[in-house]
Structures are given as structure tokens and as C-alpha cells.
Amino acid sequence: MIEKTFMMVKPDGVKRALTGTIIQRVEQRGLKIIALKMILADKELVGKHYVDDAEWCDSVGKKTMDSWAKRGVKSDETPIEIGKRIRQWLMDYITSGPVVAMVIEGHDTIKQIRKLVGDTSPHSAAPGTIRGDFSIDSYAVGDQLNRPIKNLVHASGNKKEAQNEISLWFNKDEVQDYKRIDEDLIYRT
């Protein structure tokens, strides 16, 4: 199924001059960039991107607790409390410098881009993925320094996130409709 997803090179990726490399990985997979811009986001925008809802905080907090369990770390906090704290960290991180936002279209794109991006923790991400090739950051280092994991890129996790994030970061007239020269080869012939 042809679908759209949202991806963003985070400030650490931009500052490390990895934007071109990251875009190349998307394009070489056969996925089409249909919107692209560099933007210094404000906290209001980032606050809407990392939505302050129980579901989001719970899911992020649970992943963090799993990482703690593997390292034998115990805590009385609830996943929602942990998720809320990480959301605050993310506001500072994502507004700390320009980001490169894009919309990507193609077959099964939401899942495929997540595969290209790799695990949330670069330390666990498989080599060959963006996070696994260009960073060694981890839950442990983030926890120790009281900061978010710097993992170079964001990619929508599911269809609902993709739809919300595309409409949050881009106006309709910023999203282009064109045909890649290899599209017939990829999808038809």
C-alpha cells in the first residue's frame, strides 16, 4: 500500500552534517521525498509533536522501564511519569537547533522508514540502520546525564502519528505530487 510518513533529522543529525547521508538512505531505498524543509521549531510545535497524552507518555515510559529492567534498575515511578519527564527533555532537545523535516511516500513507508531508522537506542540499533551506524548513545548514557537519547532522527511510529505529524509540520501546499523516474520500474513493470 502506498502511504505517507513523517521523518525529521533532529538537531544532532543536522549539526553533525548527516542530513545528506540520511536523505540518501531514504531515496536509495526507492522511497520518495515529497516535502522537505529546515526549520527552527519552537516549544509550541514540539509540544504538539510529542503530544501530552497518557497513551504517548505511557508507551515511552514503558520502553524506558524495559531498558531499566535489563540493567537491574528499580523505580517507583509510573510509566506515565517517566514519559512526561522525557517529553520535557525532548522540548529542549528538539528546539536546541534547526531540524530537517520531510514527508516520505512509498510502499509500506511507515514501517520501512522505522526499519531504516532502527531501534530508539543507537546502542541497540542494528548496524546498517541510521541510528546503528552513526551513534552509540543509549538509555544508560541518557539516564546518567539526565537528557534525552540523541538518536539523530525521528520517524512516525504508526499511521495515526504519521497523519498528525504531516499536518502539524507541513501545509497542504508544501507537499508535492510528482513521479520518480524509477517509479514504473519499482511498482509496475
**Catalytic positions, written as ranges:** 154
Nearer to ligand IDP, 126 or 185 (CB): 126
Of these partners, ligand IDP, Mg ion, none, which one is at the site of residue 64 (CB under 5 to 8 Å by kind)?
ligand IDP
- 135 interacts with ligand IDP by CB under 6 A: no
Residue from 64, 109, 112, 129 touching ligand IDP (CB under 6 A): that is 64
Comparing CA positions, the residue from 156, 145, 63, 44 lying closest to residue 109 is: 156
The span of 19-27, 35-43, 148-156, 167-175 binding ligand IDP (CB under 6 A) equals 148-156
Residue 120 CB, nearest approach to Mg ion (Å): 7
- 86 interacts with ligand IDP by CB under 6 A: yes
- Taking the C-alpha atoms of residue 153 and residue 149, their distance in angstroms, rounded to an integer, is 11
Question: Which positions ≥6 away from 169 have C-beta within 8 Å?
Answer: 6, 8, 39, 45, 49, 101
- 132 interacts with ligand IDP by CB under 6 A: no
Positive or negative, the CA dihedral 92, 95, 97, 99 is: positive
Of these partners, Mg ion, ligand IDP, none, which one is at the site of residue 134 (CB under 5 to 8 Å by kind)?
none
- 30 interacts with Mg ion by CB under 5 A: no
Residue from 120, 134, 162, 166 touching ligand IDP (CB under 6 A): that is 120
Q: Residues 24, 28, 29, CA angle at the centre, nearest 5°? A: 120
- Taking the C-alpha atoms of residue 54 and residue 87, their distance in angstroms, rounded to an integer, is 12
- 112 interacts with ligand IDP by CB under 6 A: no
H/E segment holding residue 9: strand 2-9
Residue 189 CB, nearest approach to ligand IDP (Å): 35
Phi, psi values for residue 97, rounded to 5°: -175, 175
- Taking the C-alpha atoms of residue 52 and residue 167, their distance in angstroms, rounded to an integer, is 17
Residue type, 67: S
Judged by the rule CB under 5 A, the positions of this chain that interact with Mg ion are: 157
Judged by the rule CB under 6 A, the positions of this chain that interact with ligand IDP are: 60, 63-64, 86, 90, 120, 139, 142, 148-149, 151, 154, 157
